[in-house]
Amino acid sequence: MPSIERPPTVIGCTIPSNTPHAVSVTLPSWKANIAYEEGAAWVVDKMKSGYPRFFYHEKIKQLITLAESLYGHADEKALIFPSYKVACKCRTYMNRFIQTPDATIRVVEIAVPPPSKGVSSNISIVFFPTDAAALAKSFWQHTGDGISSRQAEYCLEQLKAKASSDVLKAEPKQENFKFAPHSFKRYAKRMDSPPVTTSEDESDDSREFSTFVEERFGRNLDISFVRQVKVAVRRRIAGTLDGNMDISQINSVQPHESTRDVEGLTEDDVFLYPTGMSSIFNAHQTLLSCMENLKSVCFGFPYIDTLKILQKWGPGCHFYGNGEPEDLVALEKLLESGERIMALFCEFPSNPLLKCPNLKEIRRLADKYNFAVVVDETIGNFKNIHVLEYADIVVSSLTKIFSGDSNVMGGSLVLSPASKYYNLLKKTMATEYEDNMWAEDAIFLERNSRDFESRIDRINVNAEALCELLVHDPKIKQVFYPKFSSTRQFYDDCRTENGGYGGLLSIIFYDPENARKFFDRISTAKGPSLGTNFTLLCPYTILAHFVELEWAKKYGVDESLIRISVGLEPTAELVANFKSSLDSLD
């Protein structure tokens, strides 16, 4: 168990430090978080990374710049996606909302040599008018289907190697270039936390060290094993993987019966996506393609982009932002009046209020009124809770606690064999699904998740111990955690035999000024994301709802709310760290 180390404190530094493909970024003070949202140069110009759906990684920016120079027209900008199909969805979305009359949005597909046989590496570029850049970015953010930073890094090497070739000089706008393969070798998993970056500027030595840490620590794994790697991840999610076997042998070993809550579940019911939000977006897209196009329901206060997906694609949605039992009563009245819906989307528990909907009642309504149920189990995770028996589709962000290392994105979608829509959904997925998880990302994800269950157990213990401190502190007005929630009964209805209450909690102080002081003084990593192996704090409402603070407040999401993602630190040290910061407020 790691001891508490000094967290990164330099604005814009990656979290973890010296990690080229880090998922989080250091925003160490309340003021810095507000400045980031306002676009202040003293923060934004120092950003070496950011949460990937909101921030273009440096390798992605470089690839975009190169693509614009090779294939772009004057007054065009570009975004890059891992498939032609996704790029076309972006074009369709932009054509619906674009404000520029007679704007041309075009897609250029580039054939990039694969790093290994059977690994797709082609990319598609969406070109659009410069003034439509914000609209294009909203598609990138909402869907989570943009190219990953590791795939961008690989494609950048390929395109740079051929940028001065005669082929490119002769036909700079040709849509399907085919390049000779370039050498490609990557390694699997960062085994230890690297030291903290303390300087404002990243030196060449630092960059060289970070490359060593992320790419060279650990045993080599040939990228040609990516298919086996993905099978291992899918079996781990399905609960059919027995131990951490040699990946190269996984196809020759019979999986055991699933430990999840629905009989007959196999890895064939698990689908991987490049991000958690992509799994939610594609769950909605799948339902739209095989069921009657009706409004959906967003039940409970959700992570922001889930609501945006339901509002911007399809016929729209009904929003029950409080997620209380009386909202289910109101929903049933709506359905009794003749209103029909396609699906209900909810989180279990919700982010950031950690409330749980009554899944038993939702299932009853779904069966009575014929709609699908989609549950996001990211926060609860399938080690702690079983929700598949109440859902038709379960989605999750694998970026979070399933990975833990905060250095790779991923998502999953699981179809319930018990669902009356199972055959329809399975048939639709057979034609609609495409695997856009980049091979190298899958390798990192598989290695990171090998100790998933033991990490969950440890984090459950830490989170409960921390909550015991926080709920008894007179300066704290409210602690949001499933164990102390008014909806605990609904959580317990789904809790596994040895499951805990998870590693995420939120707090509100009586005095908002104490929230700011506490956040600035606490010695932990501070930035976006959750489910990390280290404790990570953020002023959630500021980051997620800065332009709609009053709207969020209507649903109990206070402007001064602090979200705490609990890590693996020794329990006594973790609690002492928080107690010291709380005591300093007296």
The SS3 call for residue 420 is coil
The pLDDT > 70 percentage for the chain reads 88
Q: Is 205 within the bounds of a domain?
A: no
Q: Are residues 434 and 488 in the same domain?
A: no
Q: Are residues 251 and 135 in the same domain?
A: no
Q: Are residues 515 and 368 in the same domain?
A: no
Establish how many alpha carbons lie within 13 A of residue 189's alpha carbon, considering only the half-sphere containing its beta carbon.
Answer: 17
Torsion of CA 488, 491, 493, 497, to 10 degrees: -110
User: Residue 49 above 60 pLDDT?
Assistant: yes
* 270-273 β-sheet, strand order: 270-273, 411-415, 393-397, 372-376, 343-347, 296-299, 317-320
Task: Give yes or no for a contact between 19 and 26, defined as CB atoms under 8 angstroms apart.
Answer: no
Exposed, middle or buried: residue 138 (CB in 10 Å: 0-12, 13-18, 19+)?
A: middle
Q: Are residues 465 and 446 in the same domain?
A: no
Candidate from 254-258, 410-414, 503-507 with smallest mean pLDDT: 254-258
What is the arithmetic mean of pLDDT over 518-522? 98
User: Residue 304 above 60 pLDDT?
Assistant: yes
Amino acid sitting at position 457: D
Q: Is 565 within the bounds of a domain?
A: yes
Q: Are residues 538 and 441 in the same domain?
A: no
**Confidence class for position 248, pLDDT limits 50, 70, 90:** confident
**Confidence class for position 199, pLDDT limits 50, 70, 90:** very low
User: Residue 175 above 70 pLDDT?
Assistant: no
Report the pLDDT value the prediction gives residue 220, as an integer from 0 to 100.
45
Mean pLDDT of the chain: 89
User: Which tens digits make up the pLDDT trace of 432-442?
Assistant: 999 999 999 99
CATH of the domain at 537: 3.90.1150.10
Task: Give yes or no for a contact between 188 and 444, defined as CB atoms under 8 angstroms apart.
Answer: yes
Q: Are residues 290 and 405 in the same domain?
A: yes
Q: Of 405, 420, 450, which closes a domain?
A: 450
Instruction: Tell me the β-bridge partners of 317.
Output: 296
Kindly list the distances between the CA atom of residue 475 and the CA atoms of 260, 408, 562, in Å, as whole numbers in the listed order. 41, 37, 14
Report the pLDDT value the prediction gives residue 180, as an integer from 0 to 100.
34
Q: Is 288 within the bounds of a domain?
A: yes
**Confidence class for position 524, pLDDT limits 50, 70, 90:** very high
CB atoms within 10 A of CB 370: 15
Q: Is 191 within the bounds of a domain?
A: no
What is the arithmetic mean of pLDDT over 149-156? 96
Q: Is 145 within the bounds of a domain?
A: yes
Q: Of 394, 421, 450, which closes a domain?
A: 450
Rounded to whole angstroms, the Cα distance separating 301 from 279 reads 19
| Structural domain span for residue 523 | 452-583
User: Which tens digits make up the pLDDT trace of 84-93?
Assistant: 999 999 999 9
CATH of the domain at 389: 3.40.640.10
User: Which tens digits make up the pLDDT trace of 57-67?
Assistant: 999 999 999 99
Q: What is the enclosing helix (H) or strand (E) of 565?
A: strand 562-565
User: Which tens digits make up the pLDDT trace of 333-378?
Assistant: 999 999 999 999 999 999 999 999 999 999 999 999 999 999 999 9
Q: How many folded domains does the chain comprise?
A: 3
Q: Are residues 421 and 456 in the same domain?
A: no
**Confidence class for position 249, pLDDT limits 50, 70, 90:** confident
Q: Are residues 159 and 253 in the same domain?
A: no
Report the pLDDT value the prediction gives residue 13, as an integer from 0 to 100.
95
Q: Is 427 within the bounds of a domain?
A: yes
Report the pLDDT value the prediction gives residue 3, as an integer from 0 to 100.
54
Q: Are residues 293 and 243 in the same domain?
A: yes
CATH of the domain at 98: 3.30.70
> Looking at 87-137, which runs of residues are DSSP E strands?
106-110, 123-129
Sign of the CA dihedral with 110 first, then 147, 444, and 381 last: negative
Kindly list the distances between the CA atom of residue 220 and the CA atoms of 115, 225, 399, in Å, as whole numbers in the listed order. 15, 11, 22
Q: Are residues 232 and 332 in the same domain?
A: yes
Kindly list the distances between the CA atom of residue 411 and the CA atoms of 173, 270, 401, 564, in Å, as whole numbers in the listed order. 34, 10, 12, 22
Q: Are residues 313 and 164 in the same domain?
A: no
Report the pLDDT value the prediction gives residue 435, as an integer from 0 to 100.
97
Q: Is 43 within the bounds of a domain?
A: no
Q: Are residues 252 and 377 in the same domain?
A: yes
Report the pLDDT value the prediction gives residue 251, as an integer from 0 to 100.
76
Q: Is 200 within the bounds of a domain?
A: no
Rounded to whole angstroms, the Cα distance separating 578 from 467 reads 10
Q: Of 450, 476, 500, which closes a domain?
A: 450
Task: Give yes or no for a contact between 411 and 396, defined as CB atoms under 8 angstroms apart.
Answer: yes
**Confidence class for position 4, pLDDT limits 50, 70, 90:** low
Report the pLDDT value the prediction gives residue 201, as an integer from 0 to 100.
38
What is the arithmetic mean of pLDDT over 25-44? 97
Kindly list the distances between the CA atom of residue 218 and the CA atoms of 188, 192, 444, 448, in Å, as whole numbers in the listed order. 7, 10, 11, 12
